[in-house]
Amino acid sequence: MMTPIEEKKDEHIYTEIRTGMVQVSDGKSRPRPARLVLTMDAVTVQREVPVPAQPPKDKNERMVQVTRQKVGGLGLSIKGGSEHKLPILISKIYKDQAADQTGQLFVGDAVIKVNGEYITACKHDDAVNILRNAGDIVVLTVKHYRAATPFLQKQVPLMMGYVTRYVLGTDKLRPGAFEVRGARGGSTGVLHAEEPAALSRWLKAISDNVVGLTNLQMKLFNRHLPAGERIEYMGWVVEGEVSAAQPWQTYRPKFLVLKGTDVMLFDVPPMNVAELAKCPETLKVYQTMFRTVKESETVDWRQHCFLVQASAAGPGAAGPRYFSTETRQQLLRVDRAWTANVLHSVVRLGKKTFTVVHLGRAAGLTLDWAAGFSLTEGTPGAPPVWAYRFSQLRGSSDDGKSKLKLHFQDSETKVIETKELECQILQSLLFCMHAFLTAKVASVDPAFLASIQQSN
């Protein structure tokens, strides 16, 4: 059960400290009891560890002489340090090695001095070096901290991390369990909640903090970016990949950024503007199709899926890519941000012209944000052969290769007029046309405009 100790809210981040008992495992071995602590920017797993012997009851300092062994050294491990605001604590004593043979050292002992020299203000790595170079006969001054005995800590930062219930790389949903993964690797391990209500509370609290911190980072990025290059969305998704060697999909995490006119996919989240500029894969949002996948269309047990397809010149273009989000709320955020990016991108682009063939003659088909469709022949600047507003388009059809038919309704006669065109980059034209139409619809939807203004 989680116990709220303090509660404040800022940018949808829960700054309360939440604690509760869970079970933790590596996904293979039997789960073991642990305490889970959620703060504003991190999740900490405090795992119970066995104590090899009963520690002393008194709290006085003790001096213990340890004879270093050629194999195994002092026979102990330490944790803590001044950078963690913790003393140097003995975290493990190895059976039958030097520290264990003294019978006077215990897990939870804080090392106060090494050969008479205080190390209480040392950082962890400095303390390690002091112990390594202390000679063959080492005198440790220690003091036992009973509260430190039961737990070893593992902390995962939440900034641009993510929480997932799926087994990594698969479509298998863990019953009653989840995992928190850091932006640059690292994991809490598999955390098992005792009851569904506790699981839901943990998932919501951790997810809210992740989203809040990621949105704060997004705002920091946007301070250094021009208006036309603003970021609308940042967050983790997973991409399903089918390999010839296996009939199922393997899911690979990707960090998605929707910025200006770009769809950016990272293997590791960018931590600053310089890293943002080094994106390994960038697509243009107005030349990319986005579609949410219906529940009846999903290919496996993964839910909350969407398709992304980038346009490519000529026939034989690559098919759509399959992505999944952890929750329906996240999918809705991606969908809304994508439409906002399309709107901003098309307005910024203004217009785009494609080379086509019309009635056997070379021509230019222009998509203009303000004016609609127009076709010109001959020299640039010549009057259009025909022109229609976006609202006059009643439908289109194509052969999937190069031929396109556009069906417009005459504003006076209401007669449907069909214009036949050929374009060697038909997919690019269709995707761009879809972007312009999507932007037009979004631009006259008050509810949508209000939602993106609130998110900004």
Domain ranges of the chain: 9-48+163-211, 62-149, 224-349, 351-434
Task: Please state, in angstroms and as integers, the Cα–Cα distance from residue 11 to each residue in 210, 215, 236, following that order.
Answer: 11, 8, 19
Q: What is the per-residue pLDDT for 4?
A: 35
Q: What is the per-residue pLDDT for 8?
A: 37
Say how far apart CA 80 and CA 76 lie, in whole Å. 14
Measure CA of the first residue to CA of the last residue in the chain; give whole Å: 36
Alpha-carbon Rg for the chain, nearest whole angstrom, is: 30
Say how far apart CA 191 and CA 174 lie, in whole Å. 10
Specify whether the CB–CB gap between 160 and 255 falls below 8 A.
yes
Q: What is the per-residue pLDDT for 14?
A: 52
Q: What angle do CA 173, 175, 176 make, to 5 degrees?
A: 125
User: What is the DSSP secondary structure assignment for residue 415, as one 8-state letter?
Assistant: -
Q: What is the per-residue pLDDT for 245?
A: 64
- Average pLDDT of each block of 10 consecutive residues along the chain (456 residues)? 36 64 85 88 78 58 92 89 83 89 88 93 92 93 67 82 94 94 91 92 94 93 90 95 72 95 94 92 92 92 93 60 94 93 91 94 94 88 90 93 94 92 93 93 70 54
Q: What is the per-residue pLDDT for 322?
A: 94
CATH number (2.40.70.10, 3.30.930.10, 3.30.365.10, 2.30.42.10) of 62-149 reads: 2.30.42.10
Specify whether the CB–CB gap between 327 and 304 falls below 8 A.
yes
Domain covering 9-48+163-211: architecture: Roll (2.30)
Same fold flag, 62-149 and 224-349:
no
Nearest Cα neighbor of 114 from 138, 144, 82, 86 is 138
Domain covering 224-349: architecture: Roll (2.30)
Q: What is the per-residue pLDDT for 19?
A: 84
Q: What is the per-residue pLDDT for 10?
A: 40
Q: What is the per-residue pLDDT for 2?
A: 39
Task: Please state, in angstroms and as integers, the Cα–Cα distance from residue 13 to each residue in 10, 155, 307, 414, following that order.
Answer: 5, 18, 30, 55
Q: Which helix (H) or strand (E) holds 172?
A: none
Give me the CATH code for the 351-434 domain, please.
2.30.29.30
Which residue blocks in 133-195 are alpha helix, DSSP H?
A: none
Q: What is the per-residue pLDDT for 16?
A: 62
Say how far apart CA 255 and CA 221 lie, in whole Å. 15
pTM for the full predicted model: 0.72
